[in-house]
Amino acid sequence: MVSRRSELGIWGYAFGYFACYVPYSALAKALSRGDLPGMRRGLSGLSLLPISSLASLFGMFAFVTAVGWWRFAGRRRVMGRSLPAPGLLTFLSGVCTAAIIATTTLAYTFDGVSIVFMMLLMRGGVLVIAPLTDFASGRSVRWFSWLALGLSMAALLVAFFGGSPSSLALTWIAAADVVVYLLGYFVRLRFMSRLAKSADPDLTRRYFVEEQMTATPLFVAVLAIAAVVGQGPVMLEIRRGFTEVWSSGQAGTIIAMGLLSQGTGVFGGLILLDRRENSFCVPVNRASSVLAGLAASVALAQLAQLELPGGAELVGAGLVVLAIVALSAPPLVKKRA
């Protein structure tokens, strides 16, 4: 049986996820378009990654230290000292999380594609994956999880078939971004179901810490290697992020974006690690981010004179709200009874 503390906890994490995601996605889009004060032109998504990832790295260490969770990580002796170290599977999960971090940030920087559409496309794909991982792990899926899953998928279909052709245009690199994102989540959810969705909170915390201590440092290391190599336009843009972007006048804003990105990683990870089925946890996670994307789009429309979300996107967001009600109401009614 799920405890009352757990019931309240997942919705608290969902609020934290939403609160971080709104400014994070809005800043990523505004920086890429050059809409912030003092900007003459936008910064490419690749050039944003170095500073934002360094800020995320700092945020990760600060959070784990503040809550005192380093003690839950596995230990290995290095040069006579016992240091926290991930296991093999949590390391691989961290690799997938690093890919998710990169593709999420890049998703909001592609020209001609709305934030809400990209979010619905990526989140809808994870919704499809959720029951597959539950079946593979032998977990039962409750009726209201199926209902929320259906409503969330309907939101994706409405946005996809009801949007304007210009807002639904995907370049090959945007499509590749979505594919890598979904593959990362598929592997990550499988490892979570196997190792961490347990009644023992210590196992959950161990997984969380080991995954976090792998993902962001690995991502920063890959970016640094790419910048040193500096071959081709992609690596040169990453190098520019380590060198020139610091003097662009937007370094502080990018640092804030990176810290908010880490906040979404922390709260999003804690939602997914809840011991209920993935078909419950994933819609909570995805609904929070879709509503955050809608709020960010509305904010940008007001502040930067961008186009408001279309009717199909608003209908999709309404279906997501119904999915949240479907997930939250039955457990609360049962507890009252």
Structure tokens at 295: 């709020």
Backbone dihedral region of 60: left (phi > 0), alpha (psi from -120 to 50 degrees) or beta? Answer: alpha
Structure tokens at 87: 């296991």
Tens-place pLDDT, residues 105-155: 777 667 666 666 776 678 777 877 777 788 777 777 777 777 877 887 787
Residue by residue, DSSP assigns 2-70 as: --HHHHHHHHHHHHHHHHHHHHHHHHHHHHHHT-STT-SS---HHHHHHHHHHHHHHHHHHHHHHHT-G
Q: pLDDT confidence of 334, banded at 50, 70, 90?
A: low
Which candidate, 191, 218, 99, places its Cα nearest to that of 137? 191
Residue percentage of the chain with pLDDT more than 70: 84
Q: Which of 55-59, 73-77, 159-163, 279-283 has the lowest mean pLDDT?
A: 159-163
pTM: 0.79
The CA distances from residue 287 to 9, 21, 169, 257, 322, in Å, are: 16, 12, 23, 21, 10
302-326 burial, b if ≥16 CB within 10 A, otherwise e? eeeebeebbebbbebbebbebbbeb
Tens-place pLDDT, residues 268-295: 999 999 888 787 888 788 778 778 877 8
Q: Report how far residue 23's alpha carbon sits from residue 260's, in angstroms, rounded to the nearest whole number.
A: 7
Question: Cα 223 to the chain's mean position, in Å?
Answer: 19
Position with higher pLDDT, 70 vs 304: 70
What SS3 class is residue 326?
helix
Q: Report how far residue 163's alpha carbon sits from residue 118's, in angstroms, rounded to the nearest whole number.
A: 12
Q: pLDDT confidence of 306, banded at 50, 70, 90?
A: low
What DSSP designation does 309 have?
A: P
Structure tokens at 158: 């409405």
Domain residue ranges of the chain, discontinuous segments joined by +: 4-336
- The answer to whether 20 and 269 have CB atoms below 8 angstroms apart is no
What integer is the mean pLDDT of 43-63?
A: 92
Mean pLDDT value across the chain: 81
110-124 burial, b if ≥16 CB within 10 A, otherwise e? beebbbbbbbbbbbb
pLDDT greater than 80 at residue 172 = no
pLDDT greater than 60 at residue 224 = yes
Q: Which of the given ranges, 28-37, 133-142, 162-171, 308-317, has the highest pLDDT on average?
A: 28-37
